[in-house]
Amino acid sequence: MHTLYVNHINEKIARNKLARVLRRLFGRYGNVVQVTCHTNLKMKGQAFVTFQDAHSSEKAMAKLQNYPLFKQPITIAPAKSESDEILLQMGKKDLVEERKREKERRNKEREEAVEKTKTTSKASSAKLTKSQVKYWKSLPPHSVLLIQNLQDEHLPMLETMFSNFTSFETVRAIPSRKLAFINFENEDGATACLEKFDTSKLGPDVLLTYAKR
């Protein structure tokens, strides 16, 4: 095996400095062609060192096992797989390409998972609690209604939806807060709309109430 897995490295050392020191240290035992140090939390304190030939890697592992690097003994073992550099030298380009595709697939899955979490979190934070719903429903009659928890695609449709109600005047939407104010000429018009308008067609969390005075 040309590549060594180095573990238990002092995690406080900056990546660039660590790479330089590892290349110099392991370079005593042969030609180092690649040093890989990761910055993500999962891989902190770990690195991979690849030699041009397997004999050099075996020698380095024997000589540097438990070496006190940055005042902390490191452990060394053969890596589970060769580096891309060595695989290319061995003529295994197809395997390197397959690795790249797999890496891209995992990165895409992570990005999608993060985006899904953000979307779910955003939806959860927008949903009103039972006490909030109770509060909004308890507000006194008013000529202005407030509709909350709207999806972006519903905002352009509001004027058409409410225009059929008597004494309707205007809609003032606030997309960033996912709500809109529905203005009527008088309180009676707003009340009639509140009693008849079906919010279920806009989603289960949409709430239509009187606005605050």
> For the domain that residue 33 is a member of, what is the CATH number?
3.30.70.330
The tens digit of pLDDT for each residue in 9-63 reads: 998 888 889 999 999 999 999 999 999 887 666 778 899 999 998 999 999 999 9
Domain count for the chain:
2
In a domain, residue 186? The reply is yes
* CA–centroid distance for 10 within its chain: 28
Residues 12 and 82 in one domain: yes
How does pLDDT run across 93-134, given as a tens digit for each residue?
887 787 778 778 877 877 777 666 555 444 444 577 889 999
Share of the chain above pLDDT 70, in %: 92
Domain final residue pick, 90, 110, 145: 90
Answer with the one of 75, 90, 105 that is the final residue of a domain: 90
The answer to the question of residue 72 being in a domain is yes
* pLDDT for res 125: 44
In a domain, 31, yes or no: yes
State which of 90, 117, 138 marks the end of a domain: 90
Q: Is residue 183 part of a domain?
A: yes
Task: Give the pLDDT score at 126.
Answer: 56
pTM for this model (two decimals): 0.47
* Tens digit of each residue's pLDDT (9 = 90 or more) over 133-189: 999 999 999 899 999 999 888 888 899 999 989 999 999 999 888 999 999 999 999
| Residue 139 shares a structural domain with residue 85 | no
In a domain, residue 109? The reply is no
pLDDT computed for residue 124 by the predictor: 44
Residue ranges making up the domain that contains 77? 3-90
